[in-house]
Amino acid sequence: MTPSIQIIFASQTGRNRAIAGHLQAQLASRAQTVITEISQVDAFALTQADAVIIVSYTYHDGDLPDEAQDFFEDLKEVDLKRTKFAVCGSSSKRHIHFGRAIDYLTIQFNSSNGEQVADSVKIDQDPDDADYQRLNQLAQNVLASLA
Ligand SMILES: Cc1cc2nc3c(=O)[nH]c(=O)nc-3n(C[C@H](O)[C@H](O)[C@H](O)COP(=O)(O)O)c2cc1C
């Protein structure tokens, strides 16, 4: 059966929205994908997908985006029952805590009993060719975990 993958993004200026779209294009031929903005996601329903990919920027002083806070708090109460996941996102090396939201999300998905199936990917601002390769590898790792 075709696996289902939920792609969840947080984006203020569009980079992470575009990355979510890139991942969807990578996955589309081999999975049913849905893209959802993070404030619209019910963390308690994450186990309905075969895999979840989170794409987020980092805000404030190395913190999660404001619109991701409710999702993150709910996630602490969720048993992901080994749902497969991967985390990635664009943030900026101009800030001291580069991509720290990626770290927080990766730790919490693991703590909530998810199964991490790809290394987390931090991208500095706009993705370059090497970043797209890392994103494509992440997508391939997610697909391989579902085969
Ligand atoms: C007020 C503000 C605070 C930020 N703080 C951080 C930070 O602490 N760490 C980091 O890596 N990036 C930080 N960033 C950079 C954003 O994460 C980065 O620009 C990202 O690419 C934005 O993604 P988006 O286009 O999807 O909104 C900050 C940006 C702004 C505007």
Report the nearest-CA residue for atom 28 of ligand 1.
59
pLDDT at 141: 98
Q: Which of 8, 91, 122 to mutate to test the pocket of ligand 1 (most atoms within 8 A of CB)?
A: 91
Please work out whether the CB of residue 91 comes within 6 Å of at least one atom of ligand 1.
yes
4-146, CATH topology level = Rossmann fold (3.40.50)
Cα–Cα distance measured from residue 72 to residue 127, given in angstroms and rounded to the nearest whole number:
25
Structure tokens at 128: 């370059």
What's the confidence (pLDDT) of residue 1? 86
Taking the alpha carbons at both ends of the chain, their separation in whole angstroms is 10
Backbone angles phi, psi at 58, to 5 degrees: -115, 145
The reply to whether ligand 1 has any atom less than 6 angstroms from the CB of 1 is: no
**Backbone phi, psi, residue 95, to 5°:** -105, 150
pTM over 0.95: yes
58 lines ligand 1 (CB under 6 A): yes
Which residue, judged by its Cα, is nearest atom 8 of ligand 1? 62
Using 50 as the pLDDT threshold, list the residues of the chain that sit under it.
Answer: none
For the Cβ of 15 lying below 6 angstroms from any atom of ligand 1, the answer is yes
For ligand 1, whether the C-beta of 13 sits within 6 Å is yes
2 lines ligand 1 (CB under 6 A): no
Q: Are 5 and 30 in contact (CB under 8 A)?
A: no
Atom of ligand 1 nearest to the CA of 10: 26
Would you say the CB of residue 90 lies under 6 angstroms from ligand 1? yes
**Residue-range domain boundaries for the chain:** 4-146
